[in-house]
Amino acid sequence: MDSSRTKNSTLNLATTFGQQMLNIVLRFAVRTVFVYTLGKSYLGINGLFADILSMLSLAEFGFDAAIGYKLYKPLAEQNDVAIRKYLRFFKYVYRVVSLVILGIGILLIPFLPILIKDYERLDALGIHAVLVYMLYLLQSVSGYLFFAYRSVIIKADQKTYLLNTANGIVDIVMSVVQIAILLLWHNYILYIVSLIGFVIIKNLVSLRISQKRYHSYFADTGERLSREEIKDIVKDCAALFVFRADNMVMKATDNLILSSFHGLILVGEYSNYLMIYTMLKSILAKMYESVKASMGNFFAQESVERKYAFFEATNFITIVLYGTAGGGIAVVTNELIECWLGESYIVMQPLPILIGIELVFAGIKMNLNQIRNISGVFRQMWYRPFIGITINLCVSIIGVNLWGIHGVVVGTICSLILANFLIDPGIIHKHCFGNYRPVLFYYIKNLGYMSILLLAVASAMWICNHVFTGCGWWSVIFHGIFCGIYIPGILLIVYHRTAECKFLINKIKILKRN
Protein backbone atom coordinates (compact mmCIF):
# COMPACT_ATOMS: atom_id res chain seq x y z
CA MET A 1 0.00 0.00 0.00
CA ASP A 2 2.81 2.40 0.91
CA SER A 3 4.56 1.83 -2.44
CA SER A 4 1.27 2.22 -4.31
CA ARG A 5 0.65 5.55 -2.61
CA THR A 6 4.18 6.67 -3.45
CA LYS A 7 3.80 5.66 -7.11
CA ASN A 8 0.49 7.46 -7.49
CA SER A 9 1.87 10.53 -5.72
CA THR A 10 4.92 10.55 -8.01
CA LEU A 11 2.82 10.23 -11.17
CA ASN A 12 0.51 12.97 -9.96
CA LEU A 13 3.43 15.21 -9.01
CA ALA A 14 5.27 14.69 -12.29
CA THR A 15 2.26 15.36 -14.50
CA THR A 16 1.12 18.27 -12.35
CA PHE A 17 4.54 19.89 -12.51
CA GLY A 18 4.70 19.34 -16.26
CA GLN A 19 1.23 20.77 -16.81
CA GLN A 20 1.90 23.79 -14.61
CA MET A 21 5.23 24.56 -16.30
CA LEU A 22 3.47 24.33 -19.65
CA ASN A 23 0.76 26.58 -18.24
CA ILE A 24 3.32 29.22 -17.26
CA VAL A 25 4.69 29.39 -20.80
CA LEU A 26 1.19 29.52 -22.30
CA ARG A 27 -0.11 32.16 -19.88
CA PHE A 28 2.91 34.39 -20.46
CA ALA A 29 2.38 34.07 -24.20
CA VAL A 30 -1.34 34.88 -23.99
CA ARG A 31 -0.77 37.73 -21.48
CA THR A 32 1.91 39.29 -23.71
CA VAL A 33 -0.38 39.29 -26.73
CA PHE A 34 -3.25 40.55 -24.54
CA VAL A 35 -1.23 43.52 -23.24
CA TYR A 36 0.03 44.58 -26.67
CA THR A 37 -3.33 44.19 -28.43
CA LEU A 38 -5.79 45.45 -25.79
CA GLY A 39 -3.80 47.42 -23.15
CA LYS A 40 -3.91 48.18 -19.42
CA SER A 41 -7.61 49.02 -19.09
CA TYR A 42 -8.71 45.70 -20.55
CA LEU A 43 -6.12 44.01 -18.34
CA GLY A 44 -7.60 45.74 -15.30
CA ILE A 45 -11.21 44.83 -16.03
CA ASN A 46 -10.14 41.29 -16.88
CA GLY A 47 -8.56 40.89 -13.43
CA LEU A 48 -11.39 42.67 -11.64
CA PHE A 49 -14.26 40.61 -13.08
CA ALA A 50 -12.31 37.38 -12.67
CA ASP A 51 -11.94 38.19 -8.96
CA ILE A 52 -15.61 39.11 -8.52
CA LEU A 53 -16.70 35.82 -10.05
CA SER A 54 -14.13 33.83 -8.09
CA MET A 55 -15.75 35.15 -4.94
CA LEU A 56 -19.10 33.80 -6.15
CA SER A 57 -17.59 30.32 -6.15
CA LEU A 58 -18.09 30.54 -2.38
CA ALA A 59 -21.57 29.25 -3.18
CA GLU A 60 -19.90 25.86 -3.62
CA PHE A 61 -19.62 25.90 0.21
CA GLY A 62 -16.68 23.47 0.28
CA PHE A 63 -18.67 20.42 -0.83
CA ASP A 64 -15.80 19.22 -3.05
CA ALA A 65 -13.39 19.06 -0.08
CA ALA A 66 -16.02 17.48 2.18
CA ILE A 67 -17.02 14.84 -0.39
CA GLY A 68 -13.37 14.18 -1.27
CA TYR A 69 -12.62 13.53 2.39
CA LYS A 70 -15.63 11.22 2.67
CA LEU A 71 -14.45 9.18 -0.33
CA TYR A 72 -11.00 8.26 1.03
CA LYS A 73 -12.22 5.53 3.36
CA PRO A 74 -14.78 3.82 1.03
CA LEU A 75 -12.19 3.85 -1.79
CA ALA A 76 -9.62 2.20 0.51
CA GLU A 77 -12.24 -0.37 1.60
CA GLN A 78 -13.73 -0.75 -1.93
CA ASN A 79 -17.18 0.14 -0.61
CA ASP A 80 -18.94 0.74 -3.94
CA VAL A 81 -22.35 1.47 -2.38
CA ALA A 82 -20.99 4.35 -0.27
CA ILE A 83 -19.06 5.77 -3.23
CA ARG A 84 -22.17 5.79 -5.44
CA LYS A 85 -24.22 7.53 -2.74
CA TYR A 86 -21.65 10.29 -2.22
CA LEU A 87 -21.21 10.90 -5.96
CA ARG A 88 -24.97 11.08 -6.59
CA PHE A 89 -25.32 13.62 -3.81
CA PHE A 90 -22.39 15.65 -5.18
CA LYS A 91 -24.01 15.73 -8.63
CA TYR A 92 -27.16 17.23 -7.13
CA VAL A 93 -25.15 19.75 -5.10
CA TYR A 94 -23.28 21.06 -8.15
CA ARG A 95 -26.54 21.62 -10.02
CA VAL A 96 -27.88 23.69 -7.12
CA VAL A 97 -24.58 25.58 -6.80
CA SER A 98 -24.64 26.60 -10.48
CA LEU A 99 -28.13 28.09 -10.05
CA VAL A 100 -27.13 29.92 -6.86
CA ILE A 101 -24.04 31.45 -8.50
CA LEU A 102 -26.09 32.53 -11.51
CA GLY A 103 -28.74 34.13 -9.30
CA ILE A 104 -26.30 35.98 -7.03
CA GLY A 105 -24.23 37.07 -10.02
CA ILE A 106 -27.23 38.66 -11.70
CA LEU A 107 -28.15 40.47 -8.48
CA LEU A 108 -24.67 42.08 -8.41
CA ILE A 109 -25.06 43.80 -11.79
CA PRO A 110 -26.50 47.08 -10.37
CA PHE A 111 -23.42 47.40 -8.11
CA LEU A 112 -20.84 47.35 -10.93
CA PRO A 113 -20.53 51.19 -11.06
CA ILE A 114 -19.59 51.14 -7.36
CA LEU A 115 -16.97 48.42 -7.80
CA ILE A 116 -15.35 50.09 -10.82
CA LYS A 117 -14.08 53.62 -10.24
CA ASP A 118 -13.55 54.19 -13.99
CA TYR A 119 -16.97 52.81 -14.96
CA GLU A 120 -17.87 55.82 -17.14
CA ARG A 121 -14.62 55.48 -19.11
CA LEU A 122 -15.45 51.94 -20.19
CA ASP A 123 -17.97 53.02 -22.83
CA ALA A 124 -15.35 55.29 -24.38
CA LEU A 125 -13.01 52.29 -24.57
CA GLY A 126 -15.74 50.21 -26.23
CA ILE A 127 -16.09 47.93 -23.21
CA HIS A 128 -19.68 46.91 -22.44
CA ALA A 129 -19.20 46.19 -18.75
CA VAL A 130 -22.48 44.31 -18.19
CA LEU A 131 -21.95 42.05 -21.22
CA VAL A 132 -18.37 41.26 -20.17
CA TYR A 133 -19.53 40.56 -16.62
CA MET A 134 -22.32 38.24 -17.81
CA LEU A 135 -19.87 36.27 -19.94
CA TYR A 136 -17.56 35.83 -16.97
CA LEU A 137 -20.60 34.76 -14.95
CA LEU A 138 -21.43 32.10 -17.54
CA GLN A 139 -17.83 30.89 -17.39
CA SER A 140 -18.12 30.52 -13.62
CA VAL A 141 -21.45 28.68 -13.87
CA SER A 142 -20.04 26.35 -16.55
CA GLY A 143 -17.41 25.24 -14.05
CA TYR A 144 -20.14 23.45 -12.09
CA LEU A 145 -22.10 21.94 -14.98
CA PHE A 146 -21.37 19.53 -17.81
CA PHE A 147 -20.26 16.66 -15.55
CA ALA A 148 -17.74 18.79 -13.59
CA TYR A 149 -18.62 16.84 -10.42
CA ARG A 150 -17.06 13.67 -11.85
CA SER A 151 -13.51 14.94 -11.33
CA VAL A 152 -13.84 14.40 -7.56
CA ILE A 153 -13.65 10.59 -7.85
CA ILE A 154 -10.60 10.77 -10.16
CA LYS A 155 -8.74 12.94 -7.64
CA ALA A 156 -9.85 10.97 -4.58
CA ASP A 157 -8.65 7.75 -6.23
CA GLN A 158 -5.14 9.22 -6.61
CA LYS A 159 -5.46 9.41 -10.42
CA THR A 160 -5.04 13.16 -10.89
CA TYR A 161 -2.34 12.44 -13.48
CA LEU A 162 -5.05 11.37 -15.92
CA LEU A 163 -6.70 14.79 -15.69
CA ASN A 164 -3.34 16.58 -15.84
CA THR A 165 -2.33 14.89 -19.10
CA ALA A 166 -5.64 15.52 -20.86
CA ASN A 167 -6.02 19.08 -19.57
CA GLY A 168 -2.46 19.92 -20.64
CA ILE A 169 -3.46 19.18 -24.25
CA VAL A 170 -6.62 21.27 -23.87
CA ASP A 171 -4.56 24.17 -22.46
CA ILE A 172 -2.29 24.19 -25.51
CA VAL A 173 -5.25 24.33 -27.90
CA MET A 174 -6.96 27.01 -25.77
CA SER A 175 -3.89 29.25 -25.75
CA VAL A 176 -3.42 28.97 -29.51
CA VAL A 177 -7.08 29.86 -30.06
CA GLN A 178 -6.90 32.84 -27.67
CA ILE A 179 -3.72 34.21 -29.26
CA ALA A 180 -5.32 33.88 -32.71
CA ILE A 181 -8.43 35.76 -31.54
CA LEU A 182 -6.35 38.59 -30.07
CA LEU A 183 -4.00 38.93 -33.04
CA LEU A 184 -6.57 38.57 -35.83
CA TRP A 185 -9.58 40.37 -34.37
CA HIS A 186 -8.45 42.21 -31.19
CA ASN A 187 -11.83 41.07 -29.87
CA TYR A 188 -12.16 40.92 -26.08
CA ILE A 189 -15.70 39.48 -26.16
CA LEU A 190 -14.66 36.59 -28.40
CA TYR A 191 -11.68 36.02 -26.09
CA ILE A 192 -14.01 35.54 -23.09
CA VAL A 193 -16.37 33.30 -25.09
CA SER A 194 -13.41 31.03 -25.81
CA LEU A 195 -12.78 30.75 -22.06
CA ILE A 196 -16.33 29.47 -21.56
CA GLY A 197 -15.94 26.91 -24.35
CA PHE A 198 -12.75 25.46 -22.95
CA VAL A 199 -14.17 25.22 -19.39
CA ILE A 200 -16.89 23.02 -20.86
CA ILE A 201 -14.34 20.97 -22.78
CA LYS A 202 -12.35 20.29 -19.58
CA ASN A 203 -15.52 19.12 -17.85
CA LEU A 204 -16.20 16.76 -20.74
CA VAL A 205 -12.67 15.41 -20.31
CA SER A 206 -13.61 14.47 -16.72
CA LEU A 207 -16.72 12.76 -18.11
CA ARG A 208 -14.69 10.70 -20.57
CA ILE A 209 -12.14 9.56 -17.98
CA SER A 210 -14.80 8.75 -15.39
CA GLN A 211 -16.86 6.76 -17.92
CA LYS A 212 -13.86 4.68 -18.83
CA ARG A 213 -12.55 3.92 -15.31
CA TYR A 214 -15.44 4.45 -12.87
CA HIS A 215 -18.57 3.69 -14.86
CA SER A 216 -20.14 1.49 -12.17
CA TYR A 217 -19.89 4.27 -9.56
CA PHE A 218 -22.29 6.46 -11.53
CA ALA A 219 -24.99 3.85 -12.09
CA ASP A 220 -28.33 4.88 -10.59
CA THR A 221 -29.09 1.89 -8.34
CA GLY A 222 -31.36 3.79 -6.01
CA GLU A 223 -28.93 4.22 -3.08
CA ARG A 224 -29.23 7.53 -1.27
CA LEU A 225 -27.39 9.12 1.63
CA SER A 226 -29.34 9.03 4.85
CA ARG A 227 -30.57 12.25 6.42
CA GLU A 228 -27.94 11.86 9.14
CA GLU A 229 -25.14 11.46 6.57
CA ILE A 230 -26.28 14.56 4.70
CA LYS A 231 -26.46 16.53 7.95
CA ASP A 232 -22.89 15.45 8.77
CA ILE A 233 -21.64 16.66 5.36
CA VAL A 234 -23.55 19.94 5.66
CA LYS A 235 -22.01 20.59 9.08
CA ASP A 236 -18.53 20.06 7.64
CA CYS A 237 -19.38 22.32 4.69
CA ALA A 238 -20.63 25.08 6.98
CA ALA A 239 -17.18 25.13 8.56
CA LEU A 240 -15.43 24.83 5.19
CA PHE A 241 -17.44 27.74 3.81
CA VAL A 242 -15.80 30.22 6.14
CA PHE A 243 -12.38 28.85 5.18
CA ARG A 244 -13.25 29.35 1.51
CA ALA A 245 -14.45 32.85 2.29
CA ASP A 246 -11.13 33.54 4.02
CA ASN A 247 -9.18 32.33 0.98
CA MET A 248 -11.28 34.40 -1.41
CA VAL A 249 -11.06 37.58 0.64
CA MET A 250 -7.33 37.06 0.96
CA LYS A 251 -6.66 37.82 -2.72
CA ALA A 252 -9.90 38.43 -4.62
CA THR A 253 -10.64 41.63 -2.71
CA ASP A 254 -7.24 43.14 -3.54
CA ASN A 255 -8.33 44.15 -7.04
CA LEU A 256 -11.73 45.29 -5.77
CA ILE A 257 -10.11 47.61 -3.21
CA LEU A 258 -7.56 48.92 -5.73
CA SER A 259 -10.27 49.49 -8.35
CA SER A 260 -12.52 51.31 -5.88
CA PHE A 261 -9.75 53.62 -4.59
CA HIS A 262 -7.31 53.99 -7.51
CA GLY A 263 -8.99 52.81 -10.73
CA LEU A 264 -8.37 50.16 -13.41
CA ILE A 265 -4.90 51.33 -14.55
CA LEU A 266 -3.29 50.42 -11.21
CA VAL A 267 -5.27 47.17 -11.17
CA GLY A 268 -3.77 46.38 -14.56
CA GLU A 269 -0.22 47.06 -13.35
CA TYR A 270 -0.74 45.02 -10.19
CA SER A 271 -2.32 42.18 -12.16
CA ASN A 272 1.04 41.39 -13.82
CA TYR A 273 2.66 40.88 -10.41
CA LEU A 274 -0.40 39.00 -9.26
CA MET A 275 -0.21 36.72 -12.30
CA ILE A 276 3.40 35.78 -11.49
CA TYR A 277 2.46 35.24 -7.84
CA THR A 278 -0.59 33.19 -8.81
CA MET A 279 1.29 31.03 -11.30
CA LEU A 280 4.00 30.09 -8.80
CA LYS A 281 1.42 29.54 -6.08
CA SER A 282 -0.71 27.47 -8.45
CA ILE A 283 2.22 25.24 -9.44
CA LEU A 284 3.01 24.48 -5.82
CA ALA A 285 -0.63 24.18 -4.74
CA LYS A 286 -1.33 21.77 -7.60
CA MET A 287 1.66 19.68 -6.57
CA TYR A 288 0.22 19.44 -3.07
CA GLU A 289 -3.24 18.76 -4.49
CA SER A 290 -1.79 15.92 -6.58
CA VAL A 291 -0.69 14.05 -3.43
CA LYS A 292 -3.77 14.96 -1.38
CA ALA A 293 -5.57 11.66 -2.02
CA SER A 294 -2.45 9.67 -1.13
CA MET A 295 -2.08 11.71 2.06
CA GLY A 296 -5.73 11.07 2.85
CA ASN A 297 -5.20 7.35 2.39
CA PHE A 298 -2.08 7.52 4.58
CA PHE A 299 -3.84 9.41 7.39
CA ALA A 300 -6.78 7.01 7.27
CA GLN A 301 -4.54 4.02 8.07
CA GLU A 302 -1.35 5.06 9.87
CA SER A 303 -0.42 5.71 13.52
CA VAL A 304 -0.25 9.18 15.08
CA GLU A 305 3.55 8.92 15.23
CA ARG A 306 3.88 8.32 11.48
CA LYS A 307 1.26 10.94 10.65
CA TYR A 308 3.11 13.57 12.69
CA ALA A 309 6.42 12.65 11.03
CA PHE A 310 4.67 13.13 7.70
CA PHE A 311 3.36 16.53 8.84
CA GLU A 312 6.83 17.70 9.89
CA ALA A 313 8.23 16.58 6.54
CA THR A 314 5.55 18.42 4.55
CA ASN A 315 6.07 21.53 6.68
CA PHE A 316 9.79 21.51 5.89
CA ILE A 317 9.34 20.92 2.17
CA THR A 318 6.72 23.70 2.17
CA ILE A 319 9.29 26.17 3.54
CA VAL A 320 11.83 25.03 0.94
CA LEU A 321 9.47 25.23 -2.05
CA TYR A 322 7.50 28.34 -1.15
CA GLY A 323 10.61 30.03 0.27
CA THR A 324 12.39 29.50 -3.04
CA ALA A 325 9.41 30.79 -5.02
CA GLY A 326 8.93 33.78 -2.71
CA GLY A 327 12.62 34.60 -2.83
CA GLY A 328 12.55 34.39 -6.61
CA ILE A 329 9.65 36.86 -6.74
CA ALA A 330 11.47 39.29 -4.45
CA VAL A 331 14.70 39.14 -6.44
CA VAL A 332 13.72 38.73 -10.10
CA THR A 333 10.16 40.03 -10.68
CA ASN A 334 10.91 43.68 -11.53
CA GLU A 335 13.72 42.66 -13.83
CA LEU A 336 11.35 40.19 -15.52
CA ILE A 337 8.51 42.69 -16.01
CA GLU A 338 10.89 45.35 -17.40
CA CYS A 339 12.18 42.92 -20.05
CA TRP A 340 8.74 41.48 -20.73
CA LEU A 341 6.41 44.51 -20.85
CA GLY A 342 8.58 47.57 -20.37
CA GLU A 343 9.62 49.95 -17.61
CA SER A 344 6.19 51.65 -17.48
CA TYR A 345 4.66 48.46 -16.04
CA ILE A 346 7.08 48.26 -13.08
CA VAL A 347 5.91 48.93 -9.52
CA MET A 348 9.05 49.56 -7.50
CA GLN A 349 10.22 47.83 -4.33
CA PRO A 350 9.14 46.87 -1.77
CA LEU A 351 6.16 45.39 -3.71
CA PRO A 352 8.06 42.31 -5.00
CA ILE A 353 9.52 41.71 -1.52
CA LEU A 354 6.08 41.98 0.08
CA ILE A 355 4.56 39.61 -2.48
CA GLY A 356 7.40 37.15 -1.83
CA ILE A 357 6.74 37.27 1.93
CA GLU A 358 3.05 36.77 1.28
CA LEU A 359 3.75 33.68 -0.83
CA VAL A 360 5.81 32.04 1.92
CA PHE A 361 3.07 32.44 4.52
CA ALA A 362 0.43 31.44 1.97
CA GLY A 363 2.39 28.21 1.55
CA ILE A 364 2.39 27.55 5.29
CA LYS A 365 -1.36 28.18 5.33
CA MET A 366 -1.85 25.81 2.39
CA ASN A 367 0.04 23.01 4.13
CA LEU A 368 -1.98 23.46 7.33
CA ASN A 369 -5.20 23.49 5.28
CA GLN A 370 -4.18 20.27 3.56
CA ILE A 371 -3.62 18.51 6.88
CA ARG A 372 -6.94 19.88 8.15
CA ASN A 373 -8.85 18.67 5.09
CA ILE A 374 -7.47 15.15 4.96
CA SER A 375 -8.02 14.78 8.71
CA GLY A 376 -11.60 16.02 8.51
CA VAL A 377 -10.98 18.79 11.07
CA PHE A 378 -13.48 21.27 9.68
CA ARG A 379 -15.76 22.37 12.51
CA GLN A 380 -13.13 22.79 15.23
CA MET A 381 -11.60 25.81 13.45
CA TRP A 382 -14.75 27.54 12.19
CA TYR A 383 -14.08 30.86 13.95
CA ARG A 384 -10.52 31.46 12.73
CA PRO A 385 -11.40 32.58 9.17
CA PHE A 386 -13.55 35.40 10.56
CA ILE A 387 -10.44 36.72 12.32
CA GLY A 388 -8.42 36.50 9.11
CA ILE A 389 -11.10 38.20 7.00
CA THR A 390 -11.48 41.06 9.51
CA ILE A 391 -7.73 41.68 9.74
CA ASN A 392 -7.26 41.53 5.97
CA LEU A 393 -10.08 43.93 5.10
CA CYS A 394 -9.31 46.45 7.86
CA VAL A 395 -5.56 46.64 7.23
CA SER A 396 -6.00 46.62 3.42
CA ILE A 397 -8.54 49.47 3.40
CA ILE A 398 -6.42 51.56 5.77
CA GLY A 399 -3.21 50.59 3.98
CA VAL A 400 -4.43 51.37 0.45
CA ASN A 401 -5.03 54.99 1.54
CA LEU A 402 -1.62 55.27 3.24
CA TRP A 403 0.67 53.25 0.98
CA GLY A 404 -1.39 52.50 -2.13
CA ILE A 405 -0.79 49.11 -3.68
CA HIS A 406 1.72 48.15 -0.98
CA GLY A 407 -0.90 48.61 1.73
CA VAL A 408 -3.18 46.01 0.14
CA VAL A 409 -0.42 43.38 0.22
CA VAL A 410 0.49 44.30 3.81
CA GLY A 411 -3.13 43.60 4.77
CA THR A 412 -2.90 40.09 3.33
CA ILE A 413 0.42 39.40 5.08
CA CYS A 414 -0.95 40.57 8.44
CA SER A 415 -3.93 38.27 8.05
CA LEU A 416 -1.75 35.27 7.16
CA ILE A 417 0.53 35.79 10.16
CA LEU A 418 -1.90 36.94 12.86
CA ALA A 419 -4.69 34.52 11.98
CA ASN A 420 -3.37 31.45 10.13
CA PHE A 421 0.19 31.10 11.37
CA LEU A 422 -0.55 31.87 15.01
CA ILE A 423 -3.91 30.10 15.45
CA ASP A 424 -4.15 27.11 13.07
CA PRO A 425 -1.14 25.06 14.29
CA GLY A 426 -2.49 24.80 17.85
CA ILE A 427 -5.89 23.55 16.68
CA ILE A 428 -4.33 21.07 14.25
CA HIS A 429 -1.93 19.72 16.88
CA LYS A 430 -4.85 19.15 19.22
CA HIS A 431 -7.47 17.68 16.90
CA CYS A 432 -5.33 15.99 14.20
CA PHE A 433 -2.53 14.63 16.39
CA GLY A 434 -3.96 14.63 19.92
CA ASN A 435 -1.14 16.94 21.06
CA TYR A 436 1.38 14.23 20.22
CA ARG A 437 4.01 16.99 20.27
CA PRO A 438 3.72 20.45 21.89
CA VAL A 439 2.84 23.09 19.31
CA LEU A 440 5.69 25.24 20.67
CA PHE A 441 8.13 22.89 18.90
CA TYR A 442 6.40 23.70 15.61
CA TYR A 443 6.88 27.45 16.11
CA ILE A 444 10.53 27.05 17.17
CA LYS A 445 11.29 24.96 14.08
CA ASN A 446 9.60 27.43 11.76
CA LEU A 447 11.40 30.35 13.37
CA GLY A 448 14.67 28.58 12.56
CA TYR A 449 13.54 27.88 8.98
CA MET A 450 12.52 31.51 8.49
CA SER A 451 15.84 32.83 9.82
CA ILE A 452 17.87 30.73 7.40
CA LEU A 453 15.46 31.54 4.55
CA LEU A 454 15.79 35.27 5.24
CA LEU A 455 19.58 35.07 5.13
CA ALA A 456 19.46 33.02 1.91
CA VAL A 457 17.10 35.44 0.13
CA ALA A 458 18.94 38.56 1.33
CA SER A 459 22.28 37.21 0.12
CA ALA A 460 20.71 36.06 -3.18
CA MET A 461 19.32 39.56 -3.71
CA TRP A 462 22.71 41.16 -3.04
CA ILE A 463 24.44 38.76 -5.44
CA CYS A 464 21.85 39.28 -8.21
CA ASN A 465 22.10 43.06 -7.83
CA HIS A 466 25.87 42.92 -8.42
CA VAL A 467 26.49 39.93 -10.71
CA PHE A 468 25.54 39.61 -14.39
CA THR A 469 23.28 42.67 -14.49
CA GLY A 470 22.09 44.74 -17.46
CA CYS A 471 21.97 41.84 -19.92
CA GLY A 472 18.23 41.80 -20.54
CA TRP A 473 16.60 38.40 -20.70
CA TRP A 474 19.92 36.64 -20.05
CA SER A 475 20.12 38.37 -16.67
CA VAL A 476 16.54 37.33 -15.86
CA ILE A 477 17.23 33.71 -16.79
CA PHE A 478 20.55 33.61 -14.92
CA HIS A 479 19.14 35.21 -11.76
CA GLY A 480 16.04 32.99 -11.85
CA ILE A 481 18.12 29.80 -12.14
CA PHE A 482 20.52 31.05 -9.48
CA CYS A 483 17.69 31.69 -6.98
CA GLY A 484 16.13 28.32 -7.83
CA ILE A 485 19.37 26.55 -6.87
CA TYR A 486 20.93 28.80 -4.24
CA ILE A 487 17.96 29.36 -1.88
CA PRO A 488 16.85 25.70 -1.51
CA GLY A 489 20.51 24.67 -1.49
CA ILE A 490 21.18 26.74 1.63
CA LEU A 491 18.12 25.29 3.41
CA LEU A 492 18.97 21.70 2.49
CA ILE A 493 22.62 22.08 3.52
CA VAL A 494 21.61 23.41 6.93
CA TYR A 495 18.83 20.86 7.59
CA HIS A 496 19.90 17.75 5.67
CA ARG A 497 20.47 15.72 8.86
CA THR A 498 17.04 16.40 10.39
CA ALA A 499 14.28 13.83 10.83
CA GLU A 500 12.16 15.65 8.26
CA CYS A 501 14.77 15.24 5.53
CA LYS A 502 15.32 11.60 6.48
CA PHE A 503 11.57 10.93 6.22
CA LEU A 504 11.52 12.37 2.70
CA ILE A 505 14.62 10.40 1.71
CA ASN A 506 12.97 7.16 2.89
CA LYS A 507 9.96 7.93 0.68
CA ILE A 508 12.31 8.38 -2.30
CA LYS A 509 14.01 5.05 -1.50
CA ILE A 510 10.62 3.30 -1.49
CA LEU A 511 9.94 4.70 -4.94
CA LYS A 512 13.36 3.58 -6.29
CA ARG A 513 12.83 0.02 -5.01
CA ASN A 514 9.61 -0.15 -6.98
Which pLDDT band, with edges at 50, 70 and 90, does 24 fall under?
confident
More confident residue, 115 or 360: 360
Consecutive H or E run containing 490: helix 473-495
**How many distinct structural domains can be found in the chain?**
1
Q: What is the pLDDT of residues 276-296, one digit of tens each?
A: 888 888 788 877 776 666 677
What pLDDT score does 66 carry?
Answer: 65
Cβ contacts of 381 within 8 Å, gap of 6 or more: 239, 243, 372, 423, 424, 427
Mean pLDDT of 413-426: 87
**Considering the entire predicted model, what is its pTM?**
0.69
99-108, 157-166, 311-320: range with highest mean pLDDT: 311-320
What is the residue-wise DSSP string for 28-91?
A: HHHHHHHHHHH-HHHHHHHHHHHHHHHHHGGGGTTHHHHHHHHHHHHHHHT-HHHHHHHHHHHH
Residue 192 placed within a domain: yes
Supply the range of the domain harboring residue 140: 1-240
| 107 belongs to a structural domain | yes
- Give the separation between CA 474 and CA 257, rounded to whole angstroms: 36
Residue 349 has pLDDT above 50, yes or no: yes
**Is residue 136 assigned to a domain?**
yes
Q: Give all strands (DSSP E) within 84-196, no chain letters.
A: none
Mean pLDDT for the chain overall:
81
Please tell me whether the peptide bond between 425 and the residue prior to it is cis, using omega within 30 degrees of 0: no
In a domain, 61, yes or no: yes
The separation between CA 343 and the C-alpha centre of its own chain, rounded to angstroms, equals 29
Domain-embedded: residue 183: yes
**Do residues 142 and 87 make contact, with C-beta atoms less than 8 angstroms apart?**
no
Q: Is the pLDDT of residue 1 over 50?
A: no
- Nearest-Å Rg of the Cα atoms of the chain is 23
Which whole number is the average pLDDT over 157-175?
85
112 assigned to some structural domain: yes
Alpha carbon distance 184, 474 (integer Å)? 31
Given pLDDT bands bounded at 50, 70 and 90, which one contains residue 487?
Answer: very high
Burial track 336-351 (b if 16+ CB lie within 10 A, e otherwise): bbebbbeeebbbeeeb
> Does residue 510 lie within any of the structural domains?
no
Q: What tens digit of pLDDT does each residue of 220-279 get?
A: 777 788 888 888 777 777 666 666 666 666 666 666 677 666 656 666 677 788 888 888
pLDDT at 70 over 60: yes
What contacts 107, CB < 8 A, 6 or more positions away? none
How far is it, in rounded angstroms, from Cα 388 to Cα 161?
Answer: 34
Asked if residue 359 is part of any domain, the answer here is no
